[in-house]
């Protein structure tokens, strides 16, 4: 069996690592196409080296652009690659512009498409990720759902026959990295200047369009982080830095210390070293949950509602609306006593993905 993976953005490289290993272990051919949506070394190269992923076979180099331009550029560049490779499966990951473009290019060439992380819904139609995941699910031939909740969403949209519960491959990657970090096989993470790894501190990220593109909203969130009672290590995505500069919002003030994004081992170590996480990232909400750190999510909804059980994750769309003391208490709440179970699977999802692709051929 020949599988062609289309990846382009940071979280997809993390998911690619266990999938690539499982496909290779099972003796399948695996072609990796990097769209170039993320091109900074901090968001791309360090994941391939740090996670032991083979270098991409093809790099499309599309770079940034408006959603239409970026999606269109991936689509145009991918057409000849898929035509030449004719894989048995085109595998697309998650909810990015690279994902929807990969799915479209494949279906139009009558190639089978499998969508990894299918069935997630925020039900917020203003999010580019929601457009991408809904369109991809309805285009794909095989929907690999990470959770029971995702299976229910797919069934509700009439897609049950094409769906299969694989579990979440990010669990495979995260738990494996956690074991490596705890065994001391990775160097200590490069935390922002001013953050002491042995003093209590929080870890934060912020990058979503709905939080960064509107100047007033970005300023309000920067204020809220600055006012927290513990030092905040803010790992800044290039989008955040670009929008903060454009809108004249100063990030490094009060509690906040700004640093660069971390490679995966560093991120896992940084979560383990923090008292809590504040984020708008889908992946980091789940990583905090898996690694047993309370998470506060700066959004009105989450695609991972399982993380909300027992307040392992709390949604705070408007920190100012909570008032300063409730905001501080929420973010610095202790580790919940409630058992969080294993709603995202057992860490063997990638092997199941390889098996499902073979069975459904």
Length of the chain as a residue count: 361
By beta-carbon proximity to ligand UD1, the closer residue of 271 and 354 is 271
Q: How far is the CB of 128 from ligand UD1 (least distance, A)?
A: 4
Is 207 labeled as catalytic in the residue annotation?
Answer: yes
Q: Distance (Å, rounded) from C-alpha 325 to C-alpha 322?
A: 8
The label of the residue with tokens 């997630």 reads: 120
Q: How far is Cα of residue 208 from the mean position of the Cα atoms in its chain?
A: 11
Q: How far is the CB of 29 from ligand UD1 (least distance, A)?
A: 27
Q: Distance (Å, rounded) from C-alpha 356 to C-alpha 358?
A: 5
Point out the catalytic residue in the list 34, 115, 153, 207: 207
- Cα first-last separation, the chain: 9
Handedness of CA 307, 226, 317, 237 (dihedral sign): negative
Q: How far is the CB of 208 from ligand UD1 (least distance, A)?
A: 7
Q: Distance (Å, rounded) from C-alpha 71 to C-alpha 20?
A: 24
By beta-carbon proximity to ligand UD1, the closer residue of 237 and 352 is 237
Q: How far is the CB of 153 from ligand UD1 (least distance, A)?
A: 18
By beta-carbon proximity to ligand UD1, the closer residue of 132 and 163 is 132
Question: By the criterion CB under 6 A, which residues form the site for ligand UD1?
Answer: 9-11, 37-40, 43, 64, 70, 95-97, 128-129, 207, 237-239, 242
| Strands laid side by side in the 202-204 sheet | 256-259, 232-235, 202-204, 276-279, 295-297, 313-315
By beta-carbon proximity to ligand UD1, the closer residue of 39 and 157 is 39
Question: Which residues form the catalytic set?
Answer: 207
């Amino acid at each position: 069996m020949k599988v062609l993976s289309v990846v382009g953005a940071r979280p997809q490289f993390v998911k690619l690592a266990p999938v690539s290993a499982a496909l290779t272990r099972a003796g399948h051919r695996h072609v990796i196409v990097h769209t170039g949506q993320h091109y900074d070394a901090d968001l791309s190269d360090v994941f391939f080296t740090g996670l032991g992923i083979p270098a991409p076979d093809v790099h499309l180099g599309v770079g940034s652009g408006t959603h239409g331009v970026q999606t269109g550029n991936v689509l145009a560049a991918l057409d000849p690659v898929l035509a030449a490779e004719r894989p048995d499966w085109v595998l697309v990951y998650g909810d990015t512009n690279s994902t929807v473009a990969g799915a479209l290019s494949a279906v139009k060439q009558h190639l089978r498409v499998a969508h990894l992380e299918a069935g997630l819904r925020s039900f917020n139609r203003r999010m580019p990720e929601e457009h991408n995941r809904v369109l991809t699910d309805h285009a794909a031939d095989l929907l690999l759902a990470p959770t029971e909740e995702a299976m229910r969403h797919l069934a509700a949209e009439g897609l049950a026959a094409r769906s299969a519960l694989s579990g979440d491959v990010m669990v495979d990657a995260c738990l494996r990295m956690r074991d490596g970090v705890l065994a001391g096989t990775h160097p200590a993470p490069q935390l922002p200047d001013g953050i002491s790894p042995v003093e209590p501190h929080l870890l934060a990220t912020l990058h979503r369009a709905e939080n960064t593109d509107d100047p007033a909203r970005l300023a309000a969130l920067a204020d809220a982080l600055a006012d927290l009672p513990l030092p905040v290590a803010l790992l800044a995505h290039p989008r955040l830095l670009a929008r903060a500069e454009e809108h004249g919002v100063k990030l490094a003030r009060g509690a906040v210390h700004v640093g660069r994004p971390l490679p995966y081992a560093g991120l896992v170590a940084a979560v383990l070293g923090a008292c809590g996480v504040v984020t708008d990232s889908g992946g980091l909400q789940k990583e905090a949950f898996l690694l047993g750190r309370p998470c506060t999510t700066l959004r009105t909804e989450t695609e991972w509602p399982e993380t909300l059980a027992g307040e392992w994750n709390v949604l705070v769309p408007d920190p100012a609306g909570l008032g300063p003391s409730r905001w501080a208490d929420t973010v610095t709440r202790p580790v919940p006593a409630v058992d969080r179970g294993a709603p995202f699977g057992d860490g063997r999802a990638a092997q199941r993905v390889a098996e499902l692709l073979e069975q459904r051929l």
